[in-house]
Chains A and B, each alone.
Chain A
Amino acid sequence: MISSVREYFNTGKRSLYLFIIPITLYLIFFFLYPVLYEIYISFFDYSLGSPKTFVGLQNYVLMARDEQFLHSLITTVIFVVSAVSAELALGLGTALLLNYESRIMDIIRTVILIPTVFTPLVAGLVWKALYNPDLGVISYYLRLLGIPIGRGLTVERSTALFSVILVDIWEWTPLIVIIILAGLKSLPKEPYEAGAIDGASSSQLFRYVTLPLLRPTIIVAVLIRAMDALKIFDIIWAITGGGPGTATTVANLRIFQVGVQQLRIGYASTLSNVLLVMSVLVGVFFIHVLYSKKYGGIR
């Protein structure tokens, strides 16, 4: 007679497999296998429709001299770092502004969620129209205000990357706001009372009480955003297609061009490996934080 779930799982191993095996097999076949295949194929000269030839490290040598790809890596880093830090700063500020209990605040907190539900491609197409150099509403108002935008924000090399970052900020700052609002709600009251008795100003309370207590929340929020920003594709594809020139070509876009458009699958896999390493590093840090007491891990 089995009288506890743990005992059941520990003795009747077969039923444990019933719960775990399906997802394990699924991930092995549709996640691990594609990734391993991608690593394997990166040592081949392989274009769709032509035979595979083993070329050893040739693709990697090629990559080290591929300025277009190296440039796309730099663009990726600039994109991720500026988008996420802007979202953190704006998100923290907005959360502090909205951290009041009232009916209106409830409505506002609901409204700001809408961008996060937006199909990223649709968001990109909407902003592309708004940015249109001649007929776009944004271009019109900026010119009206006397702000020089050249031929248009998305067309000028100097502002194109900024213009796609702004769309990412629009879509994802609300995520940070929501996470930080939840963090603020769960803060203990005692440190504030103690601080107030000691005569701390509200900016001191923020600097020495709120921020340190929010640290774990902020780290999780930033890592979730960093992982997702590293995946950026739809918005840039829709708004600039990577241009002008290569000004907004992030690594994802470059790999897509090489792999899906030029069908150079072997070489695209080599490039993918770099991105894979970058995202796994961020991912591993994220997992570490989720489980680590030091960061106030949530599990």
Chain B
Amino acid sequence: MITATNTQWKRTMLHSARAVVIALIIVFVLFPIFWMATTAFKQRIDMFVLPPQWIFKPTLDNFRYILSTMPVGRWVLNSSVISLGTMALSLLLGVPAGYAFSRVHFRGKGILLTFILLTRALPPVVIVLPFRVIMQGLGLFGTRTAVILIDTVYDAAFTAWLMSGMFESIPVDIEDAALIDGCSPVQAFWKIILPLSKPGLVTASLFTFILSWNDFLFALTLTSPSTATLPIGMLSTYGILNQGWTYMMALGCLAIVPVVFISLLLQRYYVSGLTFGGVK
């Protein structure tokens, strides 16, 4: 009897301990996010109060201020154009390459794959210096195109790798059957294989968009004030005394909300991209 209650008691304790640890992890994960979201809606008098007030009178003043005094619309537009441009160019380059990788052996395949995977390891600082010189030579320095071009190096390679895994999971017999039925190989790819690869295409689109949206270093070194993205724009709140944090966090919310929203909506695809195609 005594031992039975003992084990039961032990198990209850273990379960409670687990719950407490999980709760602590969640607090650690959510606390900075919560602080950012609340600060964005705080007034100056509430912002500096310590201990922090979690219950306060929310205000939209910070959003009104940043929208009326800063070119937020332009930053959002620049971020969107760069992210969508990178996404489109990466799919255009990466998807066909992934298909060829999954279907045939050709000379130089190993070298090409090695280069594609090596992009993942390349620190942005290493490539951005020569890239800047090259962009200056092409007259593209300070344009959104320059950022799209350098983001695409990473994102097209990522897409090619991800899609080759996707295509490998589709049996080659499907195309062969289509060919016998009179399809041309390009038709078979376009009309049969691509529709079957929707999960991979969603993952690639989502992830290339997010990678580009979250970029800071390339935008910092390659854009000019008129082509600045949201993260670059956030830096301009640095100089504002007193109310700086609330404006900064309001901008931060604008930067975060779209990517958090779409990645949670498309969670399965997001996870697949996050793990480099390891989790399908």
Contacts and interface: CB of A to CB of B under 8 A. Distances in A.
Contacts, number: 278
B117 A126 contact: no
Interface stretch (A25-33, A54-62, A151-159, A188-196): A25-33
Given A19-B100, A119-B231, A272 B131 contact: no
Interface string B30-44: 101101100100000
A224 B115 contact: no
Nearest to A28: B115
A168 to B, nearest CB: 13
Nearest to A220: B278
Nearest to B271: A178
Interface string B169-191: 00010011001100001101000
B50 A140 contact: yes
Interface stretch (B55-63, B64-72, B254-262): B254-262
Nearest to A272: B126
A227 interface: yes
A283 B106 contact: no
Contacts of B165: 299
Contacts of A272: 125-126, 129
A127 B271 CA distance: 25
Given A31-B115, A37-B134, A286-B117, A259 B129 contact: yes
A45 interface: no
Contacts of B9: none
Contact of B185 (A2, A35, A224, A265): A2
Contact of A19 (B52, B97, B127): B97
Interface residues of A, number: 91
Contacts of A142: none
Contact of B127 (A26, A34, A170): A34
Contacts of B277: 298
Sorting the interface of chain B by its residue count into under 10, 10 to 19, 20 to 34 or 35 or more gives 35 or more
Given A30-B149, A112-B29, A38 B245 contact: no
A4 B176 contact: yes
A197 interface: no
A34 B130 contact: yes
Interface string B110-151: 001111111111111111111111100000000000000110
B186 A38 contact: no
B13 interface: no
A101 to B, nearest CB: 15
Nearest to B123: A231
A8 B179 CA distance: 10
A68 interface: no
Given A22-B93, A272-B125, A122 B278 contact: no
A230 interface: yes
Given A125-B248, A279-B122, A6 B104 contact: yes
Contacts of B160: 23
B104 A282 contact: no
Nearest to B116: A27
Contacts of B131: 30, 34
Given A113-B264, A279-B122, A127 B259 contact: no
A286 B161 CA distance: 14
A121 B25 contact: no
Contact of A117 (B39, B100, B217, B263): B263
B103 interface: yes
Interface in A102-124: 108, 110-123
Nearest to A176: B275
Interface string A3-23: 111101110100110111011
B256 A118 contact: yes
Contacts of A118: 33, 214, 256, 260
Given A129-B248, A178-B275, 17 more contacts: A2-B185, A5-B176, A5-B179, A19-B100, A20-B96, A26-B156, A27-B115, A27-B153, A31-B127, A97-B18, A111-B29, A119-B214, A126-B249, A129-B35, A135-B48, A220-B276, A260-B132
